[in-house]
Amino acid sequence: MIYRPIFALLFLIVTAHALALAPADPARFDKAIAAFEAEDATNTPPKDVTLFVGASNIRRWQSLAQRFKKSPVLNRGFGGSHISDVAHFADRIVIKYRPKQIYLNAGGNDLHSGRTPEEVLASFEAFATKVREELPRTKLAFISIPTAPSRWEEVEQVKKTNSLISAYCAENGVEFINIFPLLLGSDGKPRPELYVEDKLHFSEAGYDVVTSAIRWQKDIFAFTEQDAEEAPPANPIIFTGSSSIRRWSSLADDFPGLPVMNRGFGGSEAFDSFNYADLTVIRYKPRQVVMYAGSNDIAAGKTPQRVLADIQAFVAKVHAALPDCRISYISNAPNPSRWKLVDHMREVNRLVADFCKTDPRLEYINTHDAMLGADGKPLPDIFVSDQLHMNAKGYAIWTKVIAPHLLKQH
């Protein structure tokens, strides 16, 4: 008789575990899916849409359309969902739109409910197979399962699942967007500012990280491929930032005898330089970093103060790893195509110039004034046809102004 309570307790534990691992019933999302269909009946979805689907970090992404203005986007996230739910409802919330691109972010809820990494992988395989069969021309990307402070005890399961899905993606032509390491601080733990009060869902700062990864991961990984083909120089001078750096094809010729490296990625903003500083700057242990960023930020509607904050974050990140590194900031250029924004550009320049005065390891390089004519307007013959990027004459001006600021020795 004394053993009955023990057996009863064990029975309850086993039963509860079995119930917890029972297949999730997709019917719990019928109302959410019906709401999407009602929305489609009222507002016809655009063609060639970029579709975001998955769990609550997708559903809660209110700034999605604002962040991806160049392509119509559609949000079909439903909170609490598993990858198996996305696969179950794929015909109604994915396939019917015939999107040109799909971004899926889910899997954390699967693990939290007791699914194994192998089971989560199987669910993703089922979804990817359905997309490949029904939409052979559609590109599919999986945004890695993020960690979060409130679920930190699950981090090893998250890592294993991401590893399994990453391997599957590599073998099956699916892009794996790895946001996981970008969400961690120098202590290896989730950065708290990237999450809202529940410590589970992304804040706008968290969505900054995701947006940057979606836009630039391919470009950043291409640098790694370049390094494999040609070993980077020791203690280089790294030029980084947006397209005016990326398009500087004569960089090495313009600074002969100096170990310059080009790590610009076109269209990027100051935050992107911060977000990928580990892979574009810090890994090379440069003696000096020459940065040009901020113009795209202003064109996208960011304030000069936000640009300054992102540049300060970049500086702090680099100096935390490389305390002796000099960081030189090239002033925002007075481009004809963005002349209406020149006052904002000049405010960025003023703010950054003042910031550089606070630390002897920083310097502000004023190329802005040298690009203006006697009338105070941009020189007409130093830009290519888009009136945004420079031609050889423009880069000659930059070379003359920047050269005295480059460190000859480490």
Q: What is the pLDDT of residues 286-313, one digit of tens each?
A: 999 999 999 999 999 999 999 999 999 9
Q: What is the pLDDT of residue 5?
A: 52
3-state secondary structure (DSSP) of residue 260: strand
> Where does the pLDDT of residue 14 fall: very low under 50, low under 70, confident under 90, or very high at 90 and above?
very low
DSSP secondary structure letter of residue 235? S
Closest CA to 140 of 106, 188, 192, 99: 99
Q: What is the pLDDT of residue 22?
A: 54
Residue 249 confidence (pLDDT) above 80: yes
Q: What is the pLDDT of residues 215-242, one digit of tens each?
A: 999 999 999 999 999 999 999 999 999 9
Query: For domain 232-404, which architecture applies?
Result: 3-Layer(aba) Sandwich (3.40)
> Where does the pLDDT of residue 17 fall: very low under 50, low under 70, confident under 90, or very high at 90 and above?
very low
Calculate the average pLDDT of the chain.
93
Closest CA to 367 of 396, 326, 389: 396
Indicate the helix (H) or strand (E) that contains 20: helix 4-20
10 Å Cβ neighbour count for 328?
21
Question: Which amino acid is residue 208, in one-letter code?
Answer: D
CATH of 25-216, one of 2.30.40.10, 3.40.50.1110, 3.20.20.110, 3.40.50.300: 3.40.50.1110
Q: What is the pLDDT of residues 334-347, one digit of tens each?
A: 999 999 999 999 99
Closest CA to 112 of 75, 161, 59: 161
Q: What is the pLDDT of residue 70?
A: 86
Mean pLDDT of 130-136: 97
Q: What is the pLDDT of residue 255?
A: 97
Q: What is the pLDDT of residue 19?
A: 39
Question: pLDDT over 70 for what percent of the chain?
Answer: 94
Residue 9 confidence (pLDDT) above 70: no
Q: What is the pTM of this model?
A: 0.91
Q: What is the pLDDT of residue 237?
A: 98
Cβ-based neighbours of 370, under 8 Å, separated by 6 or more = 397, 400, 401
User: Of 7-16, 175-184, 278-287, where does mean pLDDT reach its minimum?
Assistant: 7-16
DSSP secondary structure letter of residue 194? G
Q: What is the pLDDT of residue 20?
A: 46
Stretch(es) of the chain classified as CATH 3.40.50.1110: 25-216, 232-404
Closest CA to 363 of 290, 295, 264: 290
Cβ-based neighbours of 18, under 8 Å, separated by 6 or more = none
